[in-house]
Chains A and B, each alone.
Chain A
């Protein structure tokens, strides 16, 4: 099967800075693919390499098997939803959505009809005559989405599209984007620094750090079996156990991750500690427990009996939940 987007040993250097450093990846057709990483990790540069705004210093980018080495952005079968939406302020909403069809020479009646369809798809019927400045952030985001989708791209690129929205809107847009991607059967490549967003929306996630992919896999794999300390730290709030402690438990001098929800306070105690603080998280409560080997987070269901702050507890977990990992960044 031809990959929707394929990177082969792609690098992009800016002077001495290696923004993208020898990255190889394959995005499958129809997949919701997330590139996750902190700012400056190279994920946005990768997206711009697909769109064609950057050219690789080395390696090859292919889209559905076609090498993009000399293909300019305006001839690539992809469209982008920009982080700042980049709506044209001098055009109304309909003009913005119809823009791609206009530059391709589609006649006015056809392009406006298709732009209206695209607006209906993002539930913005009747907004065609407004100016971008008159819209809310969420509406602008939908216009940007409609403007990209109307061109029927083979791959839709989304650069932190939900970053500027407030929490509630962001959550509803996450579901909406996911549904849209399913119903259109399109390949989405999504850049985000929000691990929750990446894990909840994507079919597969690539975790970026310092210009490289540290780990790629399904959200479950990334969450349950982080490959390195960096992934464990960055994705979710895992406990990272230092080598001496891991050695005393398993005999191996390695780092290990331990999910806070895998720890229970009953049974034969492996480690003793003292409860330092509680945090109410709705369905769960999170405890910070200080042990001689370091502080650990423990997640308990809200209904569970809660040891008061200052009391001693013993922490227990199944050895299978202790996940050994590399010390790499």
Chain B
């Protein structure tokens, strides 16, 4: 509609000027307003985000010329085949197992906290909960990780505390185990795991808390009334109904662990995770197609994960 037409409209209705005419237009065509509001974020998502994702996908079907180091832009699955070489496959397996363990541990730690916040905390206690849960997010991620490096170090407070409790033999026994062990906690996969759980925990607590808040308390009473003890009520009512929140939280913890390249670099063994492999391949090694192929792995895994969750009925209560 032209400005002239708009102003005729405005005078016909006796409203004030261009903004009045615009308000009238939005009132008559609410979808037009919605369109205007959604256009910028859609452009952002569509072009910048999905576009770069598509470019990434495209890159992963290219390969690198072993001699010249140049990218060969012919479609091939050769780069994907490289993912299944033992060295690369190990990286994927290690990362996925770590992401799964971190997610499970986060759910176990987050659920009671979220339950307390949703069911018991009121007023000031609730405000304290939000501050306490989000406080770690206020400080830099790097600062927190270096702090953890000190906590977990051989001379750190955790080892010191365990020593005072006479539990050092237990720690040493744990650290001498293959896979999870190392010279100290800060140089072991266990350390990496602890820090991952700590850093991603808020992303698990908040969605679970929101999900539990949506479960009417009368449902828990109904379940008790029908003969379910606390454990049965949790398994048959609360958990199924809070599952969308658990899934939402696990999307965060799972995908953030799959993609992180800083935590395993600062804390843990020298064995690589997917994020570090991507970082190395696109940087020093200059193998962008392999980096892209590595990046596709978490996307595919998350896709499978969500599909499986849906099949299991995790979103039925939504």
**8 A Cβ contacts from B205-260 to A:** 216, 218-219, 221-229, 232, 236-237, 240-241
A51 to B222, CA, bound (A): 10
Known A74-B227, A82-B222, A89-B317; judge A103-B216 contact (CB<8 A): no
Contact B241 A103 (CB under 8 A): no
Contact B225 A80 (CB under 8 A): yes
Give A97-132 as 1s and 0s: 1 = Cβ < 8 Å from B's Cβ atoms. 001101110000000000000000000000000000
Contact A151 B241 (CB under 8 A): no
Taking a contact as CB atoms closer than 8 A, the residue among A73, A78, A147, A151 that contacts B221 in the complex is A73
Taking a contact as CB atoms closer than 8 A, the residue among A90, A100, A102 that contacts B240 in the complex is A90
Query: Chain B residues in contact with chain A, CB under 8 A?
Result: 216, 218-219, 221-229, 232, 236-237, 240-241, 313, 316-317
**8 A Cβ contacts from A112-162 to B:** 147-148, 151
B238 to chain A, nearest CB (A): 11
Contact B227 A103 (CB under 8 A): yes
CB within 8 Å: A-B pair count? 67
**8 A Cβ contacts from A69-89 to B:** 72-75, 78-80, 82-84, 86-89
Contact B227 A80 (CB under 8 A): no
Residue of B222, B226, B229, B237 with most chain A CB atoms under a 10 A cut-off = B226
Known A89-B241, A90-B316; judge A100-B226 contact (CB<8 A): yes
Contact B226 A79 (CB under 8 A): yes
**A residues in contact with B224, CB < 8 Å:** 52-53, 72-74
Known A89-B317, A90-B240, A90-B241; judge A103-B228 contact (CB<8 A): yes
B98 to chain A, nearest CB (A): 31
**8 A Cβ contacts from A253-275 to B:** none
> Can you list 9 A-B contacts with CB-CB less than 8 angstroms, sorted by A residue number?
A51-B221, A74-B224, A80-B225, A84-B216, A86-B216, A87-B222, A88-B222, A102-B236, A103-B229
A104 to B236, CA, bound (A): 13
A73 to B232, CA, bound (A): 13
Closest 5 CB pairs of A and B: A100-B226, A86-B222, A86-B218, A73-B224, A103-B228
A84 to B215, CA, bound (A): 13
Contact A104 B240 (CB under 8 A): no
Name which residue of chain B comes closest to A76, CB basis.
Answer: B225
Known A88-B219, A103-B232; judge A147-B240 contact (CB<8 A): no
A148 to B236, CA, bound (A): 17
B295 to chain A, nearest CB (A): 36
Taking a contact as CB atoms closer than 8 A, the residue among B216, B219, B221 that contacts A53 in the complex is B221
A307 to B218, CA, bound (A): 53
A92 to B228, CA, bound (A): 18
Contact A80 B317 (CB under 8 A): no
A75 to B229, CA, bound (A): 9
**A residues in contact with B216, CB < 8 Å:** 84, 86
**A residues in contact with B225, CB < 8 Å:** 51, 53, 73-74, 78-80, 148
Name which residue of chain B comes closest to A84, CB basis.
Answer: B218
**A residues in contact with B219, CB < 8 Å:** 86, 88
Give A225-250 as 1s and 0s: 1 = Cβ < 8 Å from B's Cβ atoms. 00000000000000000000000000
Name which residue of chain A comes closest to B221, CB basis.
Answer: A53
Contact B218 A74 (CB under 8 A): no
Known A89-B241, A90-B240; judge A82-B221 contact (CB<8 A): yes
Taking a contact as CB atoms closer than 8 A, the residue among A82, A100, A104, A148 that contacts B218 in the complex is A82
A34 to chain B, nearest CB (A): 20
- A sample of 19 more A-B contacts (CB under 8 A), given A51-B225, A86-B218, A148-B226, is A53-B221, A72-B229, A73-B221, A73-B224, A74-B224, A84-B218, A86-B222, A87-B222, A89-B241, A90-B240, A90-B316, A90-B317, A99-B226, A102-B236, A103-B223, A103-B227, A103-B232, A104-B227, A151-B226
**B residues in contact with A151, CB < 8 Å:** 226-227
